[in-house]
Amino acid sequence: MIALGSDHGGLALKQHVMQYLEAHGLSYKDYGCYSSESCDYPDFGRAAAQAVADGECDRGIVICTTGIGISIAANKVKGIRCALCSEPLSAEMTRRHNDANMLAMGGGLIGNNMADKILDAFLNTPFEGGRHQRRVDKLEG
């Protein structure tokens, strides 16, 4: 299960992400927002991150206009490693080396085609472990 969260600036891209997940047979839970009315990204970033931290969801995807604010909000939750990615290589490497459990994207910065490539990388790249596990462990300390 994948936790989703966005503010109004990320709503359109989040709706695209939902279509992507459905097309790939992946289940998700949407923690808001649900309309284009102005709202506060920390509420939705935190809710999605808490679902991942609590084990209710395996990973999370959060979106605001730039991805910056909502990634900061998600990373305030203990146990979350949320990476802001604007292209697929970063998404691949944050999975390989950081075992990122959440992805942030900027709905005002990337289009649907790029988002699909980022999602492919984030959702299909395994964590390498090894020396990277030692480093991830230090993040939790």
- pLDDT tens figures, 36-68: 999 999 999 999 999 999 999 999 999 999 999
pLDDT for residue 140:
82
Burial of 95 (0-12, 13-18, 19+ CB in 10 A): buried
What one-letter code names the amino acid at 18? M
- pLDDT tens figures, 102-139: 999 999 999 999 999 999 999 999 999 899 999 999 98
Return the active site residues. Answer: 64, 97
pLDDT for residue 139:
87
In the numeric block, the tokens 């790939």 are attached to: 24
pLDDT band at 17 (very low <50, low <70, confident <90, very high): very high
- Number of domains forming the structure of the chain: 1
CATH of the domain at 62: 3.40.1400.10
Assessment of whether the complete model's pTM goes beyond 0.95: yes
Distance CA 36, CA 56 (A): 27
In the chain, which ranges are continuous DSSP H helix? Answer: 11-23, 41-53, 68-75, 88-98, 112-124, 131-140
Q: Which domain holds residue 87?
A: 2-140
